[in-house]
Structures are given as C-alpha cells and as structure tokens.
Chains A and B, each alone.
Chain A
Amino acid sequence: MNIKKNWWKAITCVLLFYTVIEGFLGAVPARDILNETIRNLYFHVPMWFGMMTLLFISVIYGIKHLHNGAMRSDLIAREAAHTGVIMGVLGLITGSLWARYTWGTWWTQDTKLNGAAITMLIYFAYFILRGSVEDEQKRARLSAVYSIFAFVMMIVFVMILPRMEDSLHPGNGGNPAFSKYDLDSKMRLVFYPAVLGWVLLGVWIMSVRIRIASISEALLNHSDTHPTS
C-alpha cells in the first residue's frame, strides 16, 4: 500500500471509527423530545455534506467535459453523481427515521425536505436522460448541460426557499439552532470529524466506482478489438 497516495483513506477509517464509537458511546446532553436520537446528528447531517460535495464534483467535471470534451471527465461526473445520490438517499432515510421519533411523522411539508426531494428528482431525471441517449459524446454533452443547469437552479432554490416558508429544522422558523445549546463543545468534537469522515468516505467510494467503470470500459474495448480472447 502506497502511503503517499492513500494516507487520506487511513484518515477516513480513523475518523469513522472514532465517529461510530464516540457517537454511540460518548456522553450527549439530555434534551426533551430529542433524547438519545440526538446521536443521529453524527450520521444524518454529514450525509448532506457528502452529497453536496459529490454533486459539486460532478458539476465541476461536467463543466470540464464541456470545456475539453474528454470522456474521462464524463465518467467521473457520472460516478460522482451516482455516489452523491446514494448519500442523498441515506440522508433521506436517516432523516425520516429521526423525524418519526421527534416530530411524529415519516415525512412532512418542510423546506429542507422539499429541497432534498427536488435534488433527488433532478438527479433521477439526470440518470434517465443518460439512459435515453445512445451516442456517447452526445450523452455526455447533454447530461453535462443538464447537470449544470439543474445544479445552479437547485442552489438558488435551497437559498430562496427558506426565506419563503418556515421549517421545523433547528435554526429555522423560531426553532433554536443546534449551535445555540444542543451542540455543546463535546458534541462538536464528534460532529466535525464525522462530517470530514463521511465526506472522505463518499470520495473514496466514488474513486472505487470510477476505477471499476474505467476497467469495465477498457475490457469492453479490449473484447471489441480482440473478439477471440
């Protein structure tokens, strides 16, 4: 194992072990309603950080593809979006569970839930768009254009929507933010490493997916040129 290249994977493992052990066993402040579910903070919130990071990588590589036309950039954009959507689904599941125990419902009309749902809709449409185009170059270009358009609109949406409606989430609509009192300094010690750890894990999964995808593409090209082997 090449230490110079893979040091960040070791850091990811350490951070995530720390998150899981400290997150489940460490002391947390006792709060009404939240009780022990407050530990979900270490798992639910970092998923959104991970998703946004990966989707941002996807858009950057989309722009790169439009700029230089390299198929490699398109492959990275696709795999980043895939991993981002996986993290988004995990964020929805952990959020839904948390909402069931604190707000009493699996799903509710809430700004942040709507933002998450729209993000999912956009990226599912992105995959369907990719599936509907045969030609590789054209598929790459169309999906890059769509992902740039959609990402900008999504950011705008996430920014303007909270000003239009109240949210049940902490820090919105008169609800106290976690930073006020819930997220005491002890929780911060777990929360920040958790965010970093989950983001790095997302990037790691993405890099593995990219390697798998480029190997299977290379195999496909190989069997095209050498049909007997």
Chain B
Amino acid sequence: MPRGRSRIFSGRIAHFVQQKSAGIFYLCMPNPRLSLLQLNQQFSPGGQTNKNLVLPNFKKGGSSNDMLKEVRLLLYKEFLLESRQKQSINGLILYLISTIFVCKMCFRSLPEPSAWNALFWIILLFASINASSKSFMQDSRARFVYMYTMASPQAIILAKISYNTILLIVLSLIGFVVYIILLGGNPIQNMPLFLTDVLLGSMGFSAVLTSMSAIAARTNNSFTLMAILSFPLLLPLIMTVVKISKNAIDGLDPSISYKYLVVLFGLNLISGALSYLLFPYLWKD
C-alpha cells in the first residue's frame, strides 16, 4: 500500500480514537506494535508515548445506541481489513468466474430455463460458503480474545452478518452479470423480482453461514464441517429462492410470488434471530 493512503487511514483512526473506540482499530493494523505507538502518540497529550495503553472499556449490555455504535465500528473494521487484503476478495471473484466458466464449457449450449436457474443458485451457494467460511477462520486466536474483551458478542455477530450480507450481495451481482454474459442469453422476464430474490437470498445465506462459520472455526476440520453443517440448513432457503427466481424467469404474475417472498423474508428473520441468540454461547471458551 502506498505511504500516502496509510496516512489517510491513520488520520481516520485518530478521529475514532477520540470517540473512545481505539482498541478495535488496533486490530486492523498490519503491524500492531507500530500502530499502537502511533495511536499512543495521537492519543496522549504532549505526544508522550505511554507503554501501557489503557483500552477504552465498552459497557456490556448498554443501550441500543451503544450497540449500534459498536456494530458500526466493527463493520468499519471489517471493511478496513478487506481493503488491506484485496487478494482475498479478488480470489473470491475469480473463484466465481472460474466456476461459471467451467459450467459454460461443460454445458456448451444454453441450458433450458429450469437448469439455468438451478445452476445459477448452485454456483452462488458454493461461492457463498467459500466467502463466509473465512469470516471467523481468518482471525487469529489472540485477536479473537482481544475483540471479545472489547465488544459485546451480539455486536460482533451483527457486524459479521451485515458484512457478509454486503459481501454476498456484491458477489452474487457480479456472478449474475458474468453468468449472463458467459452462458449467453437472458431468459429472465421479470428482472426486478429476480434481483429482489437475489438480495433477500444473500441476506438469508449470510445469516445462516455466519453462525455455521463460527461453529466450524472452533473445530479441527473446519472446511468440511462448514459445508456439511450448512447444506441441510440452507435447503429451505434455496428451495424458496429457486422457486421465486423460476417464477421471475417464466414471467408469472408477481402476485403468485409474493407469498414466497414473505416466506423468504421470514426465513431470513428466523435465521438472523437464531444467530443473534445463540452466538454468545459460541464465543466463550
């Protein structure tokens, strides 16, 4: 990363330090020691360095306002991390494009609409599992412990789910465009419905996959487990999204699809609520 940009980041960090939340940003630094010193210099009056930086204490179970703030900060941390490790998001995009290309080479001609639809969702399913599996695996143990002393578990899971939702939406939209271009032909007759379906589907995927990733990351064969734990739980979601997108492809009257959209929304809500309630039990050791 060029020197100038990292200065911009340091400037923003200093801004957040004044908002009592320096600790979280300590985590994002490529070189923790250096950044801690930098933070110290900006933090303490007179520019003296303080060896024992006292980390601001988060109120556990505070008001919902505090919670929102925590979520926002953690979300910002995720984006900062992502922007520093561009190879990981680029890798995911390449994975998606390669998979689609393999499918194109295997099919050769345009598959019929129901196969087109099923193939699209299967590709998205695998890409999503790949993308969200790293949400808890990439953090080192020490960083985990640090983060958990800083923020409430609910804030952590909400931030991770929101981040994964955005990531999956971006991935699925890229995937969608590449899929249409590479496979050729666009059988979709009701585009807004299809896109709504993709958006809601990504939200549901991320709610389920984030908590499964939290479970799988604590075991010793996490990559296999990530898949086998998530597949059966994702099935209701997949069956609903496939049904809606098939309706969108066939251009059926939207009123037919509304009840499925409600079901999809309900599934998202249930899986989000379960993650929110159960995550506090996952993080303590």
Contact = CB atoms under 8 A, between A and B. Distances in A.
| A, B from the same assembly | yes
Interface of A: 66, 118, 121-122, 124-125, 128-129, 132-134, 138, 141-142, 144-146, 148-150, 152-154, 156-157, 160-161, 164
B78 to A, nearest CB: 22
A153 B273 CA distance: 12
B278 A148 contact: yes
B71 interface: no
Interface string B11-41: 0000000000000000000000000000000
Nearest to A149: B274
Given A144-B281, A145-B282, A149-B278, A134 B215 contact: no
A122 B233 contact: yes
Q: Which of B225, B233, B275 has the most CB of A within 10 A?
A: B233
B172 interface: no
B213 to A, nearest CB: 12
Contacts of A150: 232-233
Interface string B200-234: 00000000100100010011110011001101110
A141 B282 contact: yes
B257 to A, nearest CB: 12
Interface stretch (B82-90, B94-102, B263-271): B263-271
B236 A145 contact: no
**Size bracket, chain B contacts:** 20 to 34
Contacts, number: 79
B231 A164 contact: no
A146 B208 CA distance: 11
A122 B212 CA distance: 12
Given A66-B281, A125-B232, A132-B221, A152 B270 contact: yes
Contact of A156 (B243, B270, B281): B270
Nearest to B222: A132
A149 B211 contact: yes
Contact of B229 (A129, A152, A157, A160): A129
Nearest to B227: A125
B239 interface: yes
Given A149-B211, A153-B270, A156-B267, A122 B281 contact: no
Contacts of B263: 160
Contacts of A164: 239-240, 243, 260
B285 interface: yes
B236 A156 contact: yes
A153 B271 contact: yes
A154 B267 CA distance: 11
Given A128-B225, A153-B236, A164-B243, A145 B278 contact: yes
18 contacts: A66-B281, A122-B233, A124-B228, A125-B228, A125-B231, A128-B228, A132-B220, A132-B221, A132-B225, A133-B218, A133-B219, A138-B218, A142-B219, A144-B281, A145-B215, A145-B278, A148-B274, A157-B236
Given A121-B232, A125-B232, A153-B236, A146 B270 contact: no
B215 A146 contact: yes
